[in-house]
Structure 1
Amino acid sequence: MDSGNLASLVAGLIALALVLNRGSWLPLRNVVTIAHEGGHAVVALLSGRKLNGIRLHSDTSGLTVSTGKAHGPGMVFTLLAGYPSVSLLGLGGAWLVNADLARQMLWAGIALLVALLLAVRNAFGVLSVLVTGGALFAVSWFATPAWQALCGSLLCWFLLLGGLRPLSELSRKRARGRARDSDADQLARLTGAPGGLWLFVWFLIGAAALIVGGYWLLLMPQV
């Protein structure tokens, strides 16, 4: 195993520890929420809905408000987009890191955060986006290419793994009847398909992204 493979494997293990440990997961989950709400926002705009704003809360929950038809494909795709967006961002980032484009991946992340910032409507949300963007900027501007690749790999692993944990959290909440307005339950009311089916679809997407993205990351160029 060369240094690039080993560095990415270590980054993956660190990311796994960050996701599984409650003390680190609680603050870092804000990054997952940013990606989740960003997915809702992008798909809402692409489906022709009007984006009214995004709110990110200190309990790591979030809310994206858009106006348009209360039913139909646009609303369905908007609700569907949140959970997979986290894993798909990790997958896209993994492809860039594998292509030796870690710095470009970091700058793409910064650009997405700047666009998201324009839609955020509360102080904590602004702070969360600025802190996340500031961290990416610091790595992209001051770190060496080797450290940029390593940090990019760590971020991708975190998104790929962190995209799955909220699904297990949502499943437990639904089992206790505490998530009646979750994305899955809203989709169930709109489509007639059970909420558990949507959870399963999201899990399949996340698992596939983790397998493919993890493979790309473990083949990252030597650092």
Structure 2
Amino acid sequence: MPRSGAEARRRLQQAALELYRERGFDRTTTAEIAARAGVNERTFFRHFPDKREVLFDGEPELRAALMRAVAEAPGDLEPLDVLLFAFRKAGRILEENRPFSEPRLAVIAATPALRERELAKAASLTEAVAEALRRRNVAARPAELAAHAGWAAFHQAAQDWLADDSAQSLDAHLLQTFDELRALSGPRPPAAARAGD
């Protein structure tokens, strides 16, 4: 039996991930997860409200890290640069959890209910980032746009990093992806092109 709450939580997460990979998410019960982790089902529900949340446990920590990093970013940065600063800091959480993150993404990709939950979590985090930018006096519409673009870049960089067999860090992927995002905006097109002529 695990001796601490943190140890029980970690074991439940590991057991769930193993079972989801072996049997699939839909064919795994909370009782089976608890048994594999060496605890009872009541312990499972003390830590997680349902079997989906086992895979999304780090969301509050990531949200807090992003909000804090946006607030701490140097005052002279443009919104996208603020987000790059924040994602680089918060990305350390992902790097520390890489052994869990890689198989977790595979389980989510194979399970429609989990993909739906991931989209809801991403929308919530994007709104939190937009709110953090508004607190820095970025106007509402640009804050929303920057948050959506920044989150998409972060998500792309994280997926590239997890799929990368080289030793390139998440930080390097973030820098590259944000450079590519800036390159996409490029110089403004002539007025005729903007008008649709």
- Structure 1 length-normalised TM: 0.29
Q: Which has the larger radius of gyration?
A: 2
Greater share of strand: 1
Q: 1 or 2 for the larger relative contact order (CA 8 Å, sep ≥6)?
A: 1
